[in-house]
Every structure is written in C-alpha cells, then in structure tokens.
Amino acid sequence: MKNPFDDNYFMKKALQEAEIAFENGEVPVGAVVAVNNRIIGRAHNLTERLKDVTAHAEMQAITAASNFLGGKYLHGCTLYVTLEPCQMCAGALYWSQVSRIVYGAPDLERGFSVIGGQLHPKTELVGGVLENEAAELLKRFFIQRRNLN
C-alpha cells in the first residue's frame, strides 16, 4: 500500500500556502515543514504585508516549526517549498540543520544554487516536485502584476 504522505502530498500543502500568498498580493511562494508525516509549520510569503524583506515563506515556516518543536534545530524534518530557496533562506536552513529540502520550481535568477549559497552537508536536496504547478502559479502572478501596472 502506498504511503499517502509522500512528497507530492506535502508539496500540495505548500502550494495551498502559495495560493494564499497570491490572493494577498504576495509573490506566491508557500512552504510547510513536516516530521513523521505531520505538518509542524506552514507559511507563505509575507514580505509585502509585514514590509520585511526577510519574511519569506521558508523563514516563516522555519520559525513556526522551531516554535512547535521548542528548539532551533529541525533534525528529522523536511521543508517543502514551492520555489528553490534564495541564498538568505538557504543560510537559515543551513543553521536550522533541516534534514531535507524539497522544492518545486527552480529559481534560475535568485536561487541559492545559482548564486552560490550552500546547505548543511547532511541536508538532502530534492528539486522539481510539482514543478509545473509551482511555476505556473508564479507565471500567473507576474503576468497579473504586469497587467495592473
């Protein structure tokens, strides 16, 4: 029997967060942190609402998961995020020692792998999970944004 809690399941939850960001005029990036098939942190971009350039979905999800666990390390946890993390978020993920990062669409302009960021040596990285869905949401957002300006 197939485990219903696979990477696609959790990435769909991250995409739901990205949709909330989209509806609120934020760049549609969503993230969830899961451990033992349970979501312990969920977030979406809040940079516009909070007027804070550090309020990326990943940063918010790390904080929520850390609060849930009562500690700063995310050992045994997986971060699911709809867009490849930027260098800032990769740095925070490095320090959190998250065990796994699963992302949807690559960020060919600002992603940590393009800019030269690095992850903790023990962190496993998986890309391209529901990539098309994540990329489509971002495309829709930026088309809509261009048409409003």
Q: Hey, which residues are catalytic here?
A: 58
Q: Is 77 a known ligand-binding residue?
A: no
The answer for residues whose C-beta is within 8 angstroms of residue 30's C-beta and 6 or more apart is: 13, 14, 15, 16, 17, 18, 19, 20, 21, 42, 43, 44, 45, 57, 81, 82
10 — phi, psi (to 5°)? -70, -35
Annotated binding site: 56, 86, 89
> Which residues are annotated binding-site positions for Zn(2+)?
56, 86, 89
